[in-house]
């Protein structure tokens, strides 16, 4: 069903102020995929240095780079 076919006559429209603190994608959790990578030993040491969560850190770094490249394209 397309948006213009949905009957919203019984639902009041929210004023713009209701959306001022809205955050898009707040509960979005991407599907994770197990992979095996060979990384330089010093890179692994650097990722592990702050403590637990090195895989999450690596993912965050790669995601940031991916998004930067997508924006430039």
Q: Distance (Å, rounded) from C-alpha 5 to C-alpha 14?
A: 19
DSSP at 36: -
Look at residue 64 and tell me whether its pLDDT is greater than 90: yes
What pLDDT is stored for residue 35 in this prediction?
96
Average per-residue pLDDT in the chain?
93
Mean local confidence (pLDDT), 57-70: 96
In the chain, domain spans: 38-73
pLDDT in tens, 19-36: 999 988 888 888 999 999
For residue 53, what pLDDT is reported?
96
pLDDT tens, residue by residue, 34-62: 999 999 999 999 999 999 999 999 999 99
Residue 13: pLDDT above 90? Answer: no
Q: How far apart are CA 63 and CA 34, in angstroms?
A: 16
Instruction: Give one word for 39, left, alpha or beta, with left for phi > 0 and alpha for psi -120 to 50.
Output: beta
């Amino acid at each position: 069903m397309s948006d213009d076919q949905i009957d919203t006559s019984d639902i009041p429209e929210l004023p713009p102020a209701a959306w001022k603190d809205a955050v898009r994608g707040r509960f979005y959790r991407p599907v994770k995929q197990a992979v095996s990578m060979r990384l330089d030993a010093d890179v692994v040491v650097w990722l592990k240095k702050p403590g637990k969560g090195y895989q999450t850190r690596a993912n965050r770094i790669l995601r940031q780079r991916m998004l930067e490249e997508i924006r430039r394209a």
